[in-house]
Amino acid sequence: MAKIITKNLNLWYGEFQALKSVNASFREKAITAIIGPSGCGKSTLLRVFNRMNDFIEGFRITGEVVIEGKNIIDPTADLIDLRKKVGMVFQRPNPFPLSVYENIIFGLKIHSLVEGKNNYDEIVEQSLSSVLLWDDLKDKLNKSALSLSLEQKQRLCIARLIAVKPEVLLMDEPCSSLDPQATVRIEELMRELKNKYTIIIVTHNMQQAARVSDETGFMLLGELIEFLKTDIIFTAPRDKRTEDYITGRYG
């Protein structure tokens, strides 16, 4: 079932058209990868889904992005509700300069989701467990999140999202600042998480897309060239440009 559908999506930054008539549908509880060379618009597309492009100067958008029957690029859409539902993991792990515990409950406090301290404790444990950090950090909940390793920080950022019970996780090159072992483990985590969440990952690492995703979209100069099952796109792409990219002729 499709979780997110884009219809004829166009996006401009001033005169520059960053997305050109993108039509795609992203499957629920699956991992969809968006690949393409730098500047192809893949991050821009990702940021449409939680409206993080809105602040950029000269930003303009047309078309539709439908999540659960609602067009989220409508100016009247409830941004706070949208971002609760559609969370984002960034390229650089970016925990707040607070304790591990406070990082996790940040979203809960913002959305006033929980009453009482005991209930916080429970959600902190659940969230950290679901990113496999609980055993490592259960005795260090009051330590500063800045003292963690990069991988732990990135897991913590995912846990911070999970705490507010989102439905979609957007990941913008989540492993690009991690070492190869940490990358493998985060990828494992992603496979685990897709049982519960719809995941869309932007990556410039084609092997990563091939390893983790169920479907892959290839973008070039703002256009979505091809959008297919991952095993098909990497073995039998239909478009010459996709083939050239995945065989390493450019990018």
Q: Cα 237 vs. chain centroid, distance in angstroms? A: 24
Find the binder of other proteins among 45, 48, 52, 246 (CB under 8 A). 52
Is 171 an interacting residue with respect to other proteins (CB under 8 A)?
A: no
| Closest separation in Å from C-beta 80 to other proteins | 5
Residues 197-236 that bind other proteins (CB under 8 A): none
User: What is the closest distance, in whole angstroms, from the C-beta atom of residue 165 to other proteins in the complex?
Assistant: 11
Comparing CB distances to other proteins, the nearer of 80 and 236 is 80
125/127 Cα distance (integer angstroms): 6
Which of 50, 127, 154, 213 lies at the binding interface for other proteins (CB under 8 A)? 50
Taking CB under 8 A as the rule, does residue 109 contact other proteins? yes
Q: Cα(68)–Cα(161) distance, rounded to whole angstroms? A: 20
What whole-number distance in Å separates Cα of residue 175 and Cα of residue 2? 26
Task: Name the pairing type of β-strands 16-27 and 59-67.
Answer: unpaired
Largest alpha-carbon pair distance within the chain?
Answer: 58
Tokens of 197: 């969440």
- Of 1-9, 60-68, 79-87, 228-236, the window that binds other proteins (rule: CB under 8 A) is 79-87
Q: Look-up: residue for tokens 């998480």?
A: 193
User: Which residues here bind other proteins, judged by CB under 8 A?
Assistant: 50, 52, 79-84, 87-88, 90, 92, 94, 96-97, 106-107, 109-111, 146, 157, 160-161, 164
